[in-house]
Amino acid sequence: MVEIKPEVNNRRATDKQFTLLCIDDETANLKVLASIFKENYKVVVCKQAKQGLKIALDILPDLILLDVVMPECSGFELIQQLKKEPSIKHIPVIFITGLQSAEDEQKGLNLGACDYIQKPFNSGIVRARVNTHLEIIRQRQLLERFAHFDSLTEVPNRRKWQIDSESQWIFAREHQEPLVLGIIDIDFFKRYNDSYGHQQGDIVLRKVANSIRRVLFDVGGEIYRCGGEEFYFYIPVVKGTRVEAVLADCSDAVSAMGIQHMSSEASTILTVSIGAIQVLPQAKYNIEQVIAQADDKLYSVKQSTRNAVHFEHFVDVNESGTSQLIRV
């Protein structure tokens, strides 16, 4: 494998540094492709299909430029292998090949290629087509980002929570590491809106979300807006993680802002209530069960003093219907 490192260029600073993977058994072709794109993108090249598959799985390129006629494994065979791998099957593939029949082009497109360029190729045309597909990728990534973030608070939303919590659950289960899942609710937030106005309420939502996000960031956690004034969160529990202290810091971070809330029955400043559960993920129970227990803990706080944290370990309800406390 040869990696062509990008040089300084005039692309917009906000653009992502895209990575191209070029797979071709001819060194001369790889050099030409690298020379076309190295000033704008990170270019990785290799001469063998098998190696190309391994590299794709390793670096997850944004776009693959692929020759068809190669020894041992053709480009047509390789793209079928690429499309079988969940982590890379979405990556666009452009065939750049000497095969010039309409049948070959149709076959390549039917196998999932996004474009088919015949050799000998024109550098300007190759550059234009690659740039077009990368622009489509950039726009898709922007749409995905917007789809996964709450526009008001700018923290991830419920859809992203579903994705990330599942990922965290699987990782914790595979590594047998505890995980904390929980819910945060702003105390008497409806009264706040009634007293200070919805515009000020929106400002408060942003401030609360970002103050807690900074605390969770330090321990590898994240917060998600999953309702009006309700937020979900997770905290990976590793050696040295003091969960009670982290949760207290989240509560203190909100109180420390000193936002006046005279209509609250919990305090004269804005506060939050937190319900959280620590669990060692196993196949016999799921995220929804843990969140349900976190919601119960949050409810108990809201029925008492509010402005408090209720943190416990997961309770597994076995088949007989009795409860068993799971110590982690």
The 10 Å CB-count burial string (b at 16+, else e) for 78-114 is: bbebbeeeeebeebbbbbbbebeeeebbebbeebebb
Query: pTM for the whole thing?
Result: 0.64
Confidence class of residue 327 from pLDDT cuts 50, 70 and 90?
A: very low
Angle at CA of residue 61, ends 60 and 62, nearest 5°: 120
Mean pLDDT of 220-249: 95
CA separation for the pair 315, 253 (Å, rounded): 29
Mean pLDDT of the chain: 89
Tens of pLDDT, residue by residue over 136-161, are: 999 888 888 788 999 899 999 999 99
The residue extents of the domains of the chain are 2-148, 158-325
pLDDT in tens, 154-193: 999 999 999 999 999 999 999 999 999 999 999 999 999 9
Q: Which amino acid is at 265?
A: E
pLDDT tens digit string along 120-134? 888 999 999 999 999
Question: What is the distance between the alpha carbons of residues 88 and 108, in angstroms, rounded to a whole number?
Answer: 17
Please name the residue ranges forming H helices in the chain: 27-37, 49-59, 75-82, 102-110, 123-148, 158-175, 189-196, 198-217, 243-255, 287-302
Quickly name the fold that domain 158-325 has. Answer: Alpha-Beta Plaits (3.30.70)
Fold of 2-148: Rossmann fold (3.40.50)
Torsion of CA 236, 239, 245, 251, to 10 degrees: -10
* Listed residue (310, 170, 306) closest to 243, CA to CA: 310
Q: What is the pLDDT of residues 292-312, one digit of tens each?
A: 999 999 999 999 999 999 999
| Residue written as token pair 């693959």 | 64
Beta bridge partners of 132: none
Q: Please tell me the chain's helix, strand, coil percentages from 3-state DSSP, rounded to the nearest 5.
A: 45, 20, 35
- All residues at 6 or more sequence positions from 319 whose CB lies less than 8 Å from its CB, including other chains: none
